[in-house]
Amino acid sequence: MQIGRPGTPVSHISQAYPDRVEVRGRDLTGDLMGRLSFTEYFHLLLTGREPTEDQRFFLDLLLVAIAEHGMMPTNVAARMTLAADPASLQGAVAAGVLGAGPVILGTSGECARLLASGRGAAEIARDFRTAGRRIPGFGHPVHKPLDPRAERILELADAHGVSGEHVRLARELRDAVAPLTMNVSLPIAAVLLDLGFPVAAADAVPILARTAGLLAHLAEESENPIGLRLAAAAEEAVEYRPPS
Amino acid sequence: MQIGRPGTPVSHISQAYPDRVEVRGRDLTGDLMGRLSFTEYFHLLLTGREPTEDQRFFLDLLLVAIAEHGMMPTNVAARMTLAADPASLQGAVAAGVLGAGPVILGTSGECARLLASGRGAAEIARDFRTAGRRIPGFGHPVHKPLDPRAERILELADAHGVSGEHVRLARELRDAVAPLTMNVSLPIAAVLLDLGFPVAAADAVPILARTAGLLAHLAEESENPIGLRLAAAAEEAVEYRPPS
Amino acid sequence: MQIGRPGTPVSHISQAYPDRVEVRGRDLTGDLMGRLSFTEYFHLLLTGREPTEDQRFFLDLLLVAIAEHGMMPTNVAARMTLAADPASLQGAVAAGVLGAGPVILGTSGECARLLASGRGAAEIARDFRTAGRRIPGFGHPVHKPLDPRAERILELADAHGVSGEHVRLARELRDAVAPLTMNVSLPIAAVLLDLGFPVAAADAVPILARTAGLLAHLAEESENPIGLRLAAAAEEAVEYRPPS
Amino acid sequence: MQIGRPGTPVSHISQAYPDRVEVRGRDLTGDLMGRLSFTEYFHLLLTGREPTEDQRFFLDLLLVAIAEHGMMPTNVAARMTLAADPASLQGAVAAGVLGAGPVILGTSGECARLLASGRGAAEIARDFRTAGRRIPGFGHPVHKPLDPRAERILELADAHGVSGEHVRLARELRDAVAPLTMNVSLPIAAVLLDLGFPVAAADAVPILARTAGLLAHLAEESENPIGLRLAAAAEEAVEYRPPS
């Protein structure tokens, strides 16, 4: 059964042969292993090209910026899931990744689409105000009045001379919706676009980053299991009320 | 409801405060962002320590070695899932991660437990032969007679002078079960242990690595959707046979 | 960290006590077990009320209608995932459920929102035509010119006298967009709404139904493992083409 | 790439044709829809046969027995995941299903393998005592000294005359390990086996049942979002302690 219009049955990423693995046209063992860092390799995998020094620096920076942020809902869900099946690390990681939706940390992609939409800050702010919707990239439950990660990203973008039209638009947008806190998602999107990354990178970066945080929490969980204690605390916060 | 004996309700990983984020006792924005690479940060998250230069080099190497390996079942499952819900990148990644089980790429952890078990190569080989089970880290459907990634890892471990007792045991095990192909999972485990990583790292590394590959396939899938074509090819390979 | 405006910390579904379990105000062991069928219980869980005879009949009917439909992409993904980790049935089910997105079988909910939107058939058809989007509930890759499940549902709805304004709107919509095949999702939504179900039921019913199909495929897979054969067929359908 | 020894590329479950759907050799729309209840259809899907009246009665009973049990960890994880991405019901269900591992509710399958192992109660109890492991099917965090669901299942099995050798073994096992609480998983397994179900049914039944409970919680969550409140309560239960 073929549903919908299919793409061309071609992939440009990689192929395994009996005696070698080719990735993006390069030899994995002879050329890439030991030469590229994981971040450089992620860039190659995602875009087909090796990064420039600026692209490498900021890809590392952005991955570090959002990999970990305390006992986030994603970490709680993953730890509870590992507690329920200690033998399935991949199941626990999957449960955590599923929580990386738009509300929690998935807004970088939306921010990128916004910044790439061709509209100005005033127009964007007005469109969202008219629609009664929250602008992606603004507001944070903990960081007030500033998100220190957002500020640091912009500072380093300026220092490295990579701030361009998308960083400028991000700042104009901040002024247009002040005093809302600009959170980390908007600078991530802005810097990626100014460095020439595709919009898809702004969707992918938070997920790879957060997977690293999840794996750290799950390694800790396997040493010191608190997942069911987390679940018990959650349960106790809710009252059962039968129909009257 | 508390099920089982709980651990201490403490986590040593990170905490977000209104004006800063602390990770493993360090300040995220002031100290870590822009200084550590993503690989170094993953090491800090996972173990609580920054890596030595050897640890950094081999962590990058091993992540690169197994991030991508062609149109693997995990990539197929992820692409089919994105095709079914193009708006949920995290759902597609989760579906792919779920396929990172012991059969496909989850044997590094098993290999590490084997190499850390205190038994010698002859004893391990005999135990598995007696039990009629496959030894983890051996056999590969594509790479024959050698897995080029496995060979390259050992070569670089020797060149960097990090090969120790676990790499030696891995080689003894290879001799004991020849001519089976030693696959990439065994050297990953051996090198991690020789570099002082905990066994848990051998479970975590393949999952982080493969997430990078999944994200590349999903970015390509969103540009050129072939997920349902993959599903159709799979369906056509199976015949429905009603009860007679 | 509290993100967004929270609801009241109350749940009306169930509570376990040392000597009994209360569900929707009823005693699970003394009242429900052995009296209600699983379908009746699902109705009670979802809506807080036991179903009328018509609600019970059609809930069974609709669950049966969409539980299984051949070697669907969801079944392929689940079987491949079980092949990768035969010990994690729940992981394989989760991978399959993740594929139950809007493109494959998640359109009943969209159909319900459409039918409950207060617009007439001509207006709906015009709105979608103007927007250049596909109307949910129409088109099917296999069933042409009619989806036999859709026809049967409407036939039984008429025969049982439960067809109301939403079934009428579904038929008007079919006339408005002819000759597109009306697929099973639209009658599911229409009948549920005419029977007084909330819109949420049209989201939930396909997922419960498809879980039954997934479990059947996974039981067969554990007896006769073909998951990796499915993956191999999918892989062979795609050509790797390196950058030129 | 074909990994491992493949099964025969045949499935006996179903096939869709342009004008009909065949399931287990039967016509879906002409024969099954409107005739079989969802439970009867699940039996047909899983085993290839329609159930006897006893099989139908107890399959309904067992599904009802374990579909819902308060704000379980699986429900907490699912609600948190929906809160993070309200548009992906299937993602939230998947996150909940992933928590249905051996520790929380996946022991029915283990119990069935135990009861079908051919060993007597004394031997089983001794084997587990020697190995220092917990016997599946015993112990419950809430229900003490009796699990009312377990008692009710055995009571109804006796009343309907379906208790056979597996129910007898379950009771002998209870005596052998007294005063541990026999939980609901053991009678589920025993009754399924005495009714002629395959062991795989004891794995599948809890997952289908719990999916119904998850869908009820997620429908409630979409009306009254408390998922992030649950996550906040969990987070507050844990103290961050940096390295000293």
Query: How many Cβ atoms sit within 10 Å of the Cβ of residue B62?
Result: 29
Identify the pLDDT of residue C1.
Answer: 46
Strand partners for D14? D23
Name every chain C residue with its beta carbon within 8 A of the beta carbon of B232: 237
CB-based contact, B9 to chain D, within 8 Å: yes
Say how many CA atoms lie within 13 Å of D127 toward its Cβ: 11
Q: Which residues contact D113 (CB under 8 A, 6 or more apart)?
A: D199
Q: What is the pLDDT of residues B98-150, one digit of tens each?
A: 998 877 766 999 999 999 999 999 999 999 999 999 899 999 989 999 999 99
Q: Which of D8, D9, D226 sits opposite C9 (nearest CB)?
A: D226
CA distances A111 to A46, A201, A203, C151, Å, are 19, 12, 10, 44
Flag whether pLDDT at B4 surpasses 60: no
Contacts of D9 in chain C (CB under 8 A): 226, 229
Q: Is the model's pLDDT at D1 over the cut of 50?
A: no
What is the spatial distance between Cα B113 and Cα D213, in angstroms, rounded to a whole number?
A: 38
Q: Residue C232 contacts by C-beta under 8 Å, 6 or more apart in sequence?
A: B237, D1, D2
pLDDT digits (tens, 9 = 90+) for C153-176: 999 999 999 999 999 999 999 999
Residues 6+ apart with CB under 8 A from D197: D47, D55
* CB half-sphere exposure, A70, CA atoms < 13 A: 24
What is the mean predicted confidence (pLDDT) over C118-134? 93
Q: Is B1 on the interface with A (CB under 8 A)?
A: yes
D240 close to B (CB below 8 A): yes
pLDDT in tens, A36-81: 999 999 999 999 999 999 999 999 999 999 999 999 999 999 999 9
Question: What pLDDT was estimated at residue D4?
Answer: 54
Residue percentage of chain B with pLDDT more than 70:
96
Cβ distance of C9 and A241 shorter than 8 Å: no
**Token pair recorded at residue A123:** 């127009």
Interface contact C164, partner A, CB < 8 A: no
Residue indicated by tokens 């697929």? C183
Q: Which residues of B touch C102 (CB under 8 A)?
A: 84-85, 87
Length of chain B: 244
Report the alpha-carbon distance of residue B196 to residue B169 in Å, rounded: 15
Structure tokens at C88: 């994690």
Q: Under an 8 A CB cutoff, do B11 and D240 touch?
A: yes
Is residue D208 pLDDT above 90, yes or no?
A: yes
Chain B adjacent subunits, 3+ CB pairs under 8 A: A, C, D
| DSSP code for C182 | B
Q: Tell me the average pLDDT across C104-125.
A: 92
pLDDT of residue D221 exceeding 70, the answer is yes
Least confident of A187-191, B83-87, D102-106: D102-106
Which positions 75-94 of C are in contact with B (Cβ < 8 Å)? 76-77, 80-81, 83-88, 91-92, 94
Dist. CA C190–CA C164, nearest whole Å? 8
Question: Would you tell me how many other CB atoms lie within 10 Å of the CB of residue B12?
Answer: 17
Q: Is B17 on the interface with D (CB under 8 A)?
A: no
Chains that touch A (3 or more CB pairs under 8 A): B, C, D
3-state helix/strand/coil string of chain A: CCCCCCCCCEECCEEEECCEEEECCEEHHHHHCCCCCHHHHHHHHHHCCCCCHHHHHHHHHHHHHHCCCCCCHHHHHHHHHHHHCCCCHHHHHHHHHHCCCCCCCCHHHHHHHHHCCCCCHHHHHHHHHHHCCCCCCECCCCCCCCCHHHHHHHHHHHHCCCCCHHHHHHHHHHHHHCCCCECCHHHHHHHHHHCCCCHHHHHHHHHHHHHHHHHHHHHHHHHCCCHHHHHHHHHHCCEECCCC
Q: How confident is the model at residue B7 (pLDDT cuts 50, 70, 90)?
A: confident
Give the helix, strand, coil percentages of chain B, each rounded to 5: 60, 5, 35
- Residue keyed to tokens 């079960």: B177
Q: What is the pLDDT, as a whole number, of residue C3?
A: 52
Within 8 A of B20 by CB-CB distance, chain A residues are 148
pLDDT of residue A110: 94
**Per-residue confidence (pLDDT) for residue A41, from 0 to 100:** 98
Measured distance CA(B91)–CA(B71) in Å, rounded: 19
Q: What are phi and psi of B243, to 5 degrees?
A: -60, 140
Distance, CA of D15 to chain centre: 27
pLDDT band at C103 (very low <50, low <70, confident <90, very high): confident
Nearest to C37 among D12, D60, D200 (CB): D60
Nearest-CA residue of chain C relative to A7? C238
Q: Name the pLDDT band for D243 (thresholds 50, 70, 90).
A: confident
Secondary structure class of C199 (helix, strand, coil): helix
Minimal Cβ distance to C148: which of D8, D21, D151: D21
Res. D146: pLDDT tops 80: yes
d(CA A192, CA A137): 14
What pTM did the predictor assign?
0.96
Beta strands of chain B (E only): which ranges? 10-11, 14-17, 20-23, 26-27, 239-240
Q: With an 8 Å Cβ cutoff, are C234 and B81 in contact?
A: no
Which of C74, C81, C210 best probes binding to B when mutated, by most B CB atoms within 10 angstroms? Answer: C81
Residue C86: its H or E element: none
pLDDT at A12: 97
Q: Do C219 and D225 touch (CB under 8 A)?
A: no
- Parts of chain A with a pLDDT under 70: 1-6, 105-106
Find all residues with CB under 8 Å of C145, minimum gap 6, and list them. C179, C181
Question: Which positions ≥6 away from C91 have C-beta within 8 Å?
Answer: A88, A90, A91, A94, B98, B101, C81, C82, C85, D98
Exposed, middle or buried: residue B146 (CB in 10 Å: 0-12, 13-18, 19+)? middle
Does the distance separating the beta carbons of D36 and C60 come in below 8 Å? yes
For the cut 70, the answer to whether the pLDDT of residue B67 exceeds it is: yes
For residue D187, say if its preceding peptide bond is cis, omega within 30 degrees of 0.
no
ipTM of the complex: 0.96
**In the predicted model, what is the mean pLDDT of chain D?**
94
Q: Where are the alpha helices (DSSP H) in C48-184?
A: 53-66, 73-84, 89-98, 107-115, 121-131, 148-159, 165-177
Inform me whether the C-beta atom of residue A101 falls under 8 Å from chain D C-beta atoms: yes
User: What distance in Å separates the CA atoms of residue D24 and residue D26, rounded to the nearest whole number?
Assistant: 6
Average confidence (pLDDT) over D126-150: 93
Select the residue from A26, A63, A64 to test the B interface by mutation, using most B Cβ atoms within 10 A. A64
Q: What is the DSSP letter of D15?
A: E
CA-nearest of B240, B111, B83, B87 to B182 is B111
The SS3 call for residue C132 is coil
Please judge whether B73 and C231 are an interchain contact, meaning their C-beta atoms are less than 8 angstroms apart.
yes
| Residues forming beta bridges with residue B182, ordered by sequence position | B138
In the predicted model, is pLDDT for residue B2 greater than 90? Answer: no
Mean per-residue pLDDT for C16-43? Answer: 97
Assign residue C4 a region (left: φ > 0; alpha: ψ between -120 and 50; beta: otherwise).
left
pLDDT at B5 over 50: yes
Give D175-191 pLDDT, tens digit per residue.
999 899 999 999 999 99
B-chain residues near D10 (CB < 8 A): 238-241
Shortest Cα–Cα distance, B214 to chain A (Å):
9
Cβ-Cβ contacts under 8 Å, A2 against chain D = none
For all residues of chain B together, what is the average pLDDT? 94
Q: Which amino acid is at B134?
A: R
Query: How distant is the Cα of B89 from the closest Cα of chain A, in angstroms?
Result: 8
Residue C238 with chain B: CB contacts under 8 Å: 71, 226, 229-230
Please tell me the total number of residues recorded for chain C in this structure: 244
| Euclidean distance between CA atoms C225 and C222, whole angstroms | 6
Determine whether the interchain pair C240/A15 forms a contact, defined as Cβ–Cβ distance below 8 Å: yes
Question: What whole-number distance in Å separates Cα of residue C90 and Cα of residue B149?
Answer: 32
Cα-based angle D188, D190, D194 (whole degrees, multiple of 5): 120
* Residues pairing with D239 in the sheet: B10
- The whole-angstrom distance between C180's CA and the closest CA on chain A is 14
Cα–Cα distance for residue pair C21/D230, rounded to 1 Å: 22
Task: Determine the pLDDT at residue A4.
Answer: 54
- Averaged pLDDT, D210-219: 98
Flag whether residue C103 sits within 8 Å of chain A, measured between CB atoms.
Answer: yes
Q: What is the structure's pLDDT at A1?
A: 45
Q: Please give the residue of chain A at the shortest CA–CA distance from B200.
A: A219
CB D141 within 8 A of CB D183: no
Give the pLDDT mean for B160-189.
96
Is C71 an 8 Å CB contact of chain B? yes
Cis peptide before D86 (omega within 30 of 0): no
Phi/psi-derived region of residue D174, left when phi > 0, alpha when psi is between -120 and 50, beta in every other case: alpha
Phi, psi angle pair for C108, to nearest 5°:
-60, -40
Q: Are residues A40 and D37 in contact, defined by beta-carbon separation less than 8 angstroms? A: no
